[in-house]
Chains A and B, each alone.
Chain A
């Protein structure tokens, strides 16, 4: 609500510019901002996961499921837009974490507290995890059902993990695991190890990247690799996709209304970020054979030959940011590019150490309209760049106006009249206040806007309780 009262020029700021917060709660190794912007999940070197409140910068809760450094974190969020009731039943909030102790843990929010739903140890370790289906809360049993994850294991390739009732009964975590149908591809073959994964098409497909530069498209329902594409010669370290939302009526309404073009960016160890325009995939639908990999942009630092640690799109996909690996004279910065022209628009400075994980917040947090967070490698500090609202002195009185230059003012004859010709009091437009007008005008005090001043859909977000006692 506050955005509509800010300067329009300020709220349209697309990317952060200044470092305005650093947080040191333990040694952060991995982080992600929650979809509602109220919390940051920070995975620590000792295996703890902190949920940090971005308004008060307090730790609201600590999840102790791991014993080794956290490698990655992902928030899960789903809300039933058709149901207005603000309760736990129609909002799914979860957090998946994986660590060096080979363990993947899934936490779900119940009664405003994070509770462990599922955990499993994968011998050899885990490269990457993504969410395929957020699932729903069963309104009767209050159990979080039908969630589904994809896991890229170090040994044995890809597998899916699905909610299974039997797991709750006998705690056998293997009951939830579904292997990929194509068994011969799992062992390191021509395409190498699968290092990273990213879901798209609302969780219908997953794209994975391998150690030999291949991109593979996996059908989630058939559990099968459908298409392979050689993107580069290096290791594919990360994939990020933004999806455009479309036709509401006849299903397919994933993605976002504010994304102009569906895009994918691939981070590779050959020091090049490759950005693909994937809108043709959505037009062609299930004809995967015809899907094309059209390179839209390539980003690289030709002078310093920097490798990129993490790459993330902005919420609209109009910008992309990446953290730089140190060595070769590279500074410890986050680079921000504009995606349609491919021009570098901002270098976020201020961290005096190499930055590992980066996240671009979907919503404003900490008083910033947009927010990029990154963690430092040496100190484990979390750095947050944002855009702060300037103080408007015109807000301090109703008739103040901020102008660019002096305006010569000519006063009208009846300008400062308090009472009009009809004997009624005048309003600020010089029109006599008609008391009957107030009666006729219908005001809607109940219905809320669907989107905020930037066009972002309002989400109810989650409430994670802060315990005041400790």
Chain B
């Protein structure tokens, strides 16, 4: 393995005291971080030159929060919870401006479109919903999965939704019509494993999927083919239990992908050679790295562990 290309800048060991933390997000201007937890709160953190300072705590959900996402226009943050609701919060006044209800089970994942007018949610009720943010109403429901939705992503032009579900399928939907465009399934080695994460490549021609057989796969979806497979060292799984976030790192001419694992590390692979390049230790107590978010395709990274350890990493080349 080569030497790490990222260096720890800041660290907060317990973001939500003893509660479990599900994810982290970076605001589009890179100045704000948000974490959410089973303690039913969202915490907003100022990322400054002197450290990470707690800005405020958003309270309103009645159950644990599974996902949060900043709107691309930097005005709102959306959160989804086990209380079956989605809330859109105004970042300036820090209050709930929209409460989206219609899911019938835990809401797991959220995504904003580039124009911050449409929100897409995936739920354990096996549906994906497309929400009109202004009216606060569900525009359409995509019911093509037969198990909870674990992950969603949008193509760069917002026209395709990709979804991953525990039913083992990756489906592509037309955002504008809601029709299913394609289905991908990896069942070459017997049965298919639940899909825990999906992510479009920067040009949206490939999809990086994580499945609970502990492997990442890069799909050329036009040709229904897996073109690359990324594995952990000595056949250890990457993830067998949790939906861990992945990223494409293309900052400064790099060509890497990364993912957290369930033992407190962030793993980095070379996209082309599939070689594991280096890993970063992002948890003291080997807690799963639930999410790694990158700013500007890898200028800096923010990672969060299930125990709530928040780390900020700088690219050092």
Closest to B220 in A: A443
Q: For A392, what are the chain B residues with a Cβ–Cβ distance below 8 Å?
A: 179-181
Q: Judging by beta carbons under 8 Å apart, are A445 and B201 in contact?
A: yes
Closest to A442 in B: B272
Nearest Cβ on chain B to A146's Cβ, whole angstroms = 28
Q: Given A389-B177, A465-B116, do A448 and B156 touch, yes or no (CB 8 Å)?
A: yes
Nearest Cβ on chain A to B230's Cβ, whole angstroms = 10
Within 8 A of B (CB), among A17-61: 38, 53, 55-56, 58, 60
Query: Please, how many residues of chain A have a CB less than 8 angstroms from a CB on the other chain?
Result: 47
Q: For A4, what are the chain B residues with a Cβ–Cβ distance below 8 Å?
A: 222
Q: For B201, what are the chain A residues with a Cβ–Cβ distance below 8 Å?
A: 445-446
Nearest Cβ on chain A to B52's Cβ, whole angstroms = 27
Query: Please, how many residues of chain B have a CB less than 8 angstroms from a CB on the other chain?
Result: 61
Provide the bound-state CA to CA distance between A438 and B229, in Å.
Answer: 8
Stretch at the interface among A232-240, A277-285, A395-403: A395-403
Provide the bound-state CA to CA distance between A112 and B269, in Å.
Answer: 37
Closest to A418 in B: B188
Closest 7 CB pairs of A and B: A367-B176, A445-B201, A2-B159, A5-B181, A367-B177, A56-B132, A1-B155
- B203 contacts partner chain A, Cβ-Cβ < 8 Å: yes
Q: For A6, what are the chain B residues with a Cβ–Cβ distance below 8 Å?
A: 174, 181
Chain A 430-470, CB within 8 Å of chain B: the 1/0 string? 00010000110111111111000000001000011111110
Q: Given A1-B159, A438-B229, do A466 and B133 touch, yes or no (CB 8 Å)?
A: yes
- A175 contacts partner chain B, Cβ-Cβ < 8 Å: no
- B227 contacts partner chain A, Cβ-Cβ < 8 Å: yes
Q: Judging by beta carbons under 8 Å apart, are B273 and A448 in contact?
A: no
Q: For B218, what are the chain A residues with a Cβ–Cβ distance below 8 Å?
A: 443, 445
Of A4, A448, A466, the most chain B CB neighbours within 10 A belong to: A466
Q: Judging by beta carbons under 8 Å apart, are B206 and A56 in contact?
A: no
Q: Judging by beta carbons under 8 Å apart, are A445 and B271 in contact?
A: yes
Within 8 A of B (CB), among A371-419: 388-389, 391-392, 395-398
Of B113, B135, B177, the most chain A CB neighbours within 10 A belong to: B177
Q: For B179, what are the chain A residues with a Cβ–Cβ distance below 8 Å?
A: 389, 391-392, 395
Within 8 A of A (CB), among B54-80: 72-73, 75-76
Chain B 110-123, CB within 8 Å of chain A: the 1/0 string? 00011111100000
Q: Judging by beta carbons under 8 Å apart, are B250 and A446 in contact?
A: yes
Q: Judging by beta carbons under 8 Å apart, are A395 and B183 in contact?
A: yes
Q: Given A58-B134, A445-B201, do A425 and B188 touch, yes or no (CB 8 Å)?
A: yes
Provide the bound-state CA to CA distance between A53 and B116, in Å.
Answer: 12
Q: Judging by beta carbons under 8 Å apart, are A445 and B97 in contact?
A: no
Provide the bound-state CA to CA distance between A202 and B201, in Å.
Answer: 36
Provide the bound-state CA to CA distance between A222 and B4, in Å.
Answer: 63
Provide the bound-state CA to CA distance between A447 and B220, in Å.
Answer: 14
Q: How many CB-defined contacts (below 8 Å) exist between A and B?
A: 146
Within 8 A of B (CB), among A152-186: none
Nearest Cβ on chain B to A34's Cβ, whole angstroms = 12
Q: For B227, what are the chain A residues with a Cβ–Cβ distance below 8 Å?
A: 438, 441, 443
- B84 contacts partner chain A, Cβ-Cβ < 8 Å: no
- A427 contacts partner chain B, Cβ-Cβ < 8 Å: yes
Provide the bound-state CA to CA distance between A4 and B72, in Å.
Answer: 26
- A309 contacts partner chain B, Cβ-Cβ < 8 Å: no
Q: For B248, what are the chain A residues with a Cβ–Cβ distance below 8 Å?
A: 445
Q: Judging by beta carbons under 8 Å apart, are A445 and B206 in contact?
A: yes
- A366 contacts partner chain B, Cβ-Cβ < 8 Å: yes
Provide the bound-state CA to CA distance between A364 and B180, in Å.
Answer: 18
Q: For B97, what are the chain A residues with a Cβ–Cβ distance below 8 Å?
A: 468-469
Q: Judging by beta carbons under 8 Å apart, are A443 and B183 in contact?
A: no
Provide the bound-state CA to CA distance between A439 and B275, in Å.
Answer: 9
Q: For A464, what are the chain B residues with a Cβ–Cβ distance below 8 Å?
A: 115
- B241 contacts partner chain A, Cβ-Cβ < 8 Å: no
Nearest Cβ on chain B to A325's Cβ, whole angstroms = 33
Within 8 A of A (CB), among B142-186: 144, 155-157, 159-160, 172, 174-177, 179-185
14 interchain pairs (CB within 8 A)? A2-B175, A4-B222, A5-B181, A5-B222, A56-B139, A398-B185, A425-B188, A438-B274, A443-B206, A445-B205, A445-B218, A463-B114, A466-B115, A468-B88
Closest to A400 in B: B183
Nearest Cβ on chain A to B127's Cβ, whole angstroms = 16
Nearest Cβ on chain B to A403's Cβ, whole angstroms = 18
Q: Given A1-B160, A56-B117, A367-B177, do A397 and B183 touch, yes or no (CB 8 Å)?
A: yes
Provide the bound-state CA to CA distance between A433 and B185, in Å.
Answer: 17
